[in-house]
Chain A
Amino acid sequence: MAASIAPECNETKEQYDTCFLKWYSEKYLRGNTKSNDCDELFSKYKTCLHKALKEKGMDSMLDDARKSSSETDAEFLKKS
């Protein structure tokens, strides 16, 4: 699995990624879209990652980037 930008999050990321792949291929793609098997692992990984991004001073850069792409998201939704 791809490494995390924050080495201290690699372990929780790997657990989450493994869970996601299983859920995505065995449930989500087969129509069971409402299941949420990996929520707990994701929030654990997210907590670790967000702390690391904040320490790197990247949280505000991410917010800016996501704001500037929200226009495009609106286009996406219009189209579909």
Chain B
Amino acid sequence: MKFFENKFTYDYSFPAVSLAYFLRYPNPYSRHVLTTDVIDRYVDPSTQRLHTTRLHLKKSKIPAGILKLLPKGMGGSDNSGQSYILETTIVDPREGWMETESRNMEWTGILSVVEKQRYQRLHADNDVRALDGLSIDQRAEQTTVRTTVTFKSRLGQGKLLGRKKADHTEGEDEAPKKGFFSSLSTAGIQRTIELIGVSRTRDAVLKSKEGMNVVLERLRSGGIVGVLEGMRRDREALGLDKALARV
């Protein structure tokens, strides 16, 4: 099990940051995000908190470094180049916080990645003032975000191997796996996979921060209309990328 932790402060109010979170795709730093859907959304009647579940489809490949460590064929079917991310968020506008959790839904048998964020209004001194609207242009307000990412490789234990066994006939699967796992210790491979995950996450967290800042700047200068206009351009650029990739 490995952890990654990061703290950051946005120079924007909590309402603006929470809005930007829901609006963050597409942005110029999110070319890898292909689609976003809202699976479920409701306001809890007892707490008045907004609960949202979204499904993102991202372009992602198992890093070459991890693929190298896997027995031949193991990464194959899972490495389609796309992966699903399930994201849940809870917003409490009165207390000025938002908690998010994102987890990968595929190849979790190789590496399961869970990202949690807590956004918090920095000056939680006055509840009434915070509800005074979006206060997008109040520079004074800040929002902190604490990001933790947990990596856990279960390679060689439990689910994945169990599933693989069921998929294939015993003889086919046993021989190469035995040879592979005896040459390197399972724990050593798990650690290596987790470390590769950590180094990739550093870049990903930085990029998503840049993306949020673009959306927040658009929000400040042009309001929601400005964000939507920017999105339209990003989406067109994404379409252009796809068209070029096909040529």
A-side residues, CB < 8 A to B, are 1-6, 9, 13, 16-17, 20-22, 24-25, 28-31, 33-34, 36, 42, 45-46, 49, 58, 61-62, 65-66, 69, 72-73, 76, 80
Q: Name which of B36-44, B59-67, B71-79, B189-197 contacts chain A.
A: B36-44
A65 touches B57 (CB 8 A): no
Partner of A65, one of B93, B103, B131, B228: B103
Give Cα A1–Cα B22 distance, bound, in whole angstroms. 10
8 Å CB contact of B43 from A33, A49, A65: A33
- Of B26, B37, B103, B131, the contact of A29 (CB 8 Å cutoff): B131
Nearest first, the 5 closest Cβ-Cβ pairs linking A and B are A2-B36, A33-B48, A5-B35, A2-B25, A31-B131
Interface of A is mostly: helix
In the assembled complex, B224 has its CB within 8 A of some CB on chain A: yes
Contact of A3 among B19, B41, B235 (CB under 8 A): B235
Interface residues of B (CB under 8 A from A): 15, 18-19, 22-23, 25-26, 33-39, 41, 43, 47-50, 53, 55, 57, 84, 86, 88, 90, 92-94, 99, 101, 103, 105, 114, 131-134, 224, 228, 231, 235
Given known pairs A1-B228, A66-B86, the reply for A34 and B53 (CB within 8 Å) is no
Check if B224 sits within 8 Å of A69, measured CB to CB: no
Q: Chain A residues near B26 (CB, 8 Å)?
A: 2
Q: Which residues of B contact A4 (CB under 8 A)?
A: 35-37
Decide if B35 touches A2 in the complex (CB within 8 Å). Answer: yes
Assembled-state Cα–Cα distance A30/B22 (Å): 17
Which of B15, B101, B105, B132 gathers most chain A CB within 10 Å?
B105
Contacts of A80 in B (CB 8 A): 47, 49, 90, 92, 99
